[in-house]
Amino acid sequence: YCDTFTYPSRSTENFTHIFTSNHTPGYNFHWGTVQNASTLPISLSDQSITVKVNISNKSHRLKGIGGSFTDSFCINVKSLSEEAGNNLLRSYFSRSGNEYKMARVPIASSDFCTRTYTYDDTPGDVNLEYFKLAPEDYTYKIPVISAAREMSPHNLYLFGSPWTSPNWTKNDNSYTRGYMKEEYFGYWAKYLLRFLEEYRKEGIEFWGFSPFNEPINSLYLKQYLINNMQWLPMAHRVFIRDHLGPLLRASPFNKTKIFTFEDSRKFLKYWIDRVMADPDMAEYIDGVSVHWYEDSETSPEILDEIVKKYNKFIIYTEACILLSMDPTKVVDLGSWKRGGLYAEDIIDVFNHMSIGFIDWNMALNTEGGPVFPTSGTVDAPVIVNASADEFYKNPMFYVLGHFSKFIDEGSYRVDSTSEPLSSVSHLATTNPDGSISTFLYNPTESDITVILHDVINKKIVNISVKAESLNTVVWW
**Cis peptide bond upstream of 370, omega within 30:** yes
Task: Report yes or no: 461 and 473 within 8 Å, Cβ to Cβ.
Answer: yes
* pLDDT at residue 219 in the model: 78
**Band of residue 409 on the pLDDT scale cut at 50, 70, 90:** very high
Q: Is the pLDDT of residue 429 over 80?
A: yes
166-214 confidence digits (pLDDT tens): 999 999 999 988 999 999 999 999 999 999 999 999 999 999 999 999 9
CA-CA distance, 295 to 472, in Å (whole number)? 24
* pLDDT at residue 42 in the model: 45
Closest CA to 378 of 73, 158, 97: 73
Whole-model pTM above 0.85?
yes
Q: Which residues are catalytic?
A: 214, 318
Query: Total domain count for the chain?
Result: 2
* pLDDT at residue 2 in the model: 80
* pLDDT at residue 39 in the model: 61
Task: Report yes or no: 411 and 433 within 8 Å, Cβ to Cβ.
Answer: no
Q: At what angle do helices 82-93 and 142-151 cross, to 10 degrees?
A: 60
Closest CA to 246 of 271, 281, 274: 281
User: Which CATH number covers residue 23?
Assistant: 2.60.40.1180
With left for phi above 0 and alpha for psi between -120 and 50, is residue 241 left, alpha or beta? Answer: alpha
* pLDDT at residue 263 in the model: 96
- 152 and 276 within one domain: yes
CA-CA distance, 406 to 384, in Å (whole number)? 26
411-427 confidence digits (pLDDT tens): 999 999 999 888 999 99
Domain assignment of residue 144, given as a range: 64-409
Q: At what angle do helices 395-404 and 336-350 cross, to 10 degrees?
A: 30
- 449 and 364 within one domain: no
Q: Which of 409, 435, 456 is the last residue of a domain?
A: 409
Closest CA to 384 of 80, 140, 160: 80
CA-CA distance, 278 to 281, in Å (whole number)? 5
Closest CA to 208 of 287, 101, 306, 109: 287
C-alpha distances in angstroms, 437 versus 27, 119, 156, 392?
20, 43, 22, 28
Task: Report yes or no: 439 and 403 within 8 Å, Cβ to Cβ.
Answer: yes
Q: Which amino acid is at 250?
A: A
CA-CA distance, 30 to 395, in Å (whole number)? 13
- 92 and 207 within one domain: yes
For residue 60, give the 3-state DSSP assignment: strand
**Domain-embedded: residue 8:** no
Tell me which H or E stretch contains 260.
strand 257-264
- 133 and 86 within one domain: yes
Lowest average pLDDT, out of 8-12, 43-47, 288-292, 298-302, goes to: 43-47
- 308 and 457 within one domain: no
**Domain-embedded: residue 29:** yes
307-336 confidence digits (pLDDT tens): 999 999 999 999 999 998 999 899 999 999
Handedness of CA 235, 240, 242, 247 (dihedral sign): positive
- 399 and 460 within one domain: no
**Band of residue 9 on the pLDDT scale cut at 50, 70, 90:** confident
**Domain-embedded: residue 7:** no
Q: Which of 387, 409, 431 is the last residue of a domain?
A: 409
Q: What is the largest CA-CA distance in the chain?
A: 77
Q: Is the pLDDT of residue 41 over 60?
A: no
Q: 190: which strand partners? A: none
- Cβ neighbour number for residue 9 with a 10 Å cutoff: 8
50-71 confidence digits (pLDDT tens): 999 999 999 999 999 999 999 9
**Domain-embedded: residue 384:** yes
- 386 and 418 within one domain: no
User: Which CATH number covers residue 100?
Assistant: 3.20.20.80
